[in-house]
Chain A
Amino acid sequence: MVMDPKIEVKELSVSYGSKPVLKHVSLTVPREEITAIIGPSGCGKSTLIKALNRMVELVPGAKVTGQVLLDGRDIYGPGIDPVEIRRKMGMVFQKPNPFPMSIYDNVAFGLRILGLGDRRKLDKSVEESLIRANLWEETKDRLKENALSLSGGQQQRLCIARALATHPEVLLLDEPASALDPISTARVEDLLKDLKSEVTIVLVTHNMQQAIRVSDRTGFMLLGELVEFNGTAKLFEHPSDERTEAYITGKFG
Chain B
Amino acid sequence: MKERLRESLVILSLRVAVAVVLAGLLTVLFDIVSKGVGIFSWEFLTESPRQGMTAGGIFPAIVGSVYLVALSLAASVPIGVLAAIYLVEYTPQGRFLRVIDISIRNLAGTPSIVFGLFGLGLFVNFLGFRQSLLSGALTLACMSLPVIITASREALLSVPNEFREAAYALGATKLQVVRRIVLPNALSGILTGVVLSSSRVVGETAPILLTAAAFYAPTLPTSPFDRVMALPFHLFVMATQSSNPLKTAPIQYGTALVLLLVAVGLNAVALVVRAKRRRLKVW
Taking Cβ atoms with an 8 Å cutoff, the residues of A that contact B are 53, 55, 58, 60-61, 83-91, 93, 95, 97-100, 109-110, 112-114, 146, 148, 159, 162-163, 166
The answer to whether residues A86 and B162 also contact, given A60-B91, A113-B176 and a CB cut-off of 8 A, is no
| Distance A50 CA – B153 CA, assembled complex (angstroms) | 27
Q: Are B171 and A113 in contact (CB under 8 A)?
A: yes
| Distance A109 CA – B176 CA, assembled complex (angstroms) | 10
Q: Are A90 and B165 in contact (CB under 8 A)?
A: no
Q: Are A83 and B171 in contact (CB under 8 A)?
A: yes
Q: State which of B91, B93, B169, B282 has its C-beta within 8 Å of the C-beta of A91.
A: B169
Q: Are A100 and B185 in contact (CB under 8 A)?
A: yes
Q: State which of B163, B171, B180 has its C-beta within 8 Å of the C-beta of A86.
A: B171
Q: State which of A88, A93, A162 has its C-beta within 8 Å of the C-beta of B165.
A: A93
Q: Are B162 and A93 in contact (CB under 8 A)?
A: yes
Q: Are B168 and A93 in contact (CB under 8 A)?
A: no
| Distance A86 CA – B167 CA, assembled complex (angstroms) | 10
Q: Are A148 and B282 in contact (CB under 8 A)?
A: yes
Q: Are B283 and A100 in contact (CB under 8 A)?
A: yes
Which B residues lie within 8 Å of A61 (CB)? 93
| Distance A166 CA – B171 CA, assembled complex (angstroms) | 10
Q: Are A97 and B165 in contact (CB under 8 A)?
A: yes
Taking Cβ atoms with an 8 Å cutoff, the residues of B that contact A are 91, 93, 160, 162-163, 165-173, 176, 180-181, 185, 282-283
Q: Are B172 and A83 in contact (CB under 8 A)?
A: yes
Q: Which residue, A98, A100, A163, has most C-beta atoms of chain B within 10 A?
A: A100
Other CB < 8 Å A-B pairs besides A91-B170, A93-B165, A110-B170, 6 of them?
Answer: A86-B170, A97-B162, A100-B163, A113-B167, A146-B282, A163-B169
Q: Are A109 and B168 in contact (CB under 8 A)?
A: no
Question: Which 4 A-B pairs rank lowest in CB-CB distance, beginning with the nearest?
Answer: A87-B171, A91-B169, A97-B162, A86-B171
| Distance A85 CA – B173 CA, assembled complex (angstroms) | 11
The answer to whether residues A60 and B170 also contact, given A93-B165, A148-B282 and a CB cut-off of 8 A, is no
Q: Are B180 and A113 in contact (CB under 8 A)?
A: yes
The answer to whether residues A113 and B172 also contact, given A60-B91, A148-B282 and a CB cut-off of 8 A, is yes
Among residues of A, the one whose C-beta sits closest to the C-beta of B91 is: A60
Q: Are B162 and A83 in contact (CB under 8 A)?
A: no
Which A residues lie within 8 Å of B282 (CB)? 100, 146, 148
| Distance A112 CA – B185 CA, assembled complex (angstroms) | 18
Among residues of A, the one whose C-beta sits closest to the C-beta of B174 is: A83
Q: Are A110 and B163 in contact (CB under 8 A)?
A: no
The answer to whether residues A109 and B170 also contact, given A60-B93, A99-B181 and a CB cut-off of 8 A, is yes
Q: State which of A84, A95, A113, A146 has its C-beta within 8 Å of the C-beta of B170.
A: A113
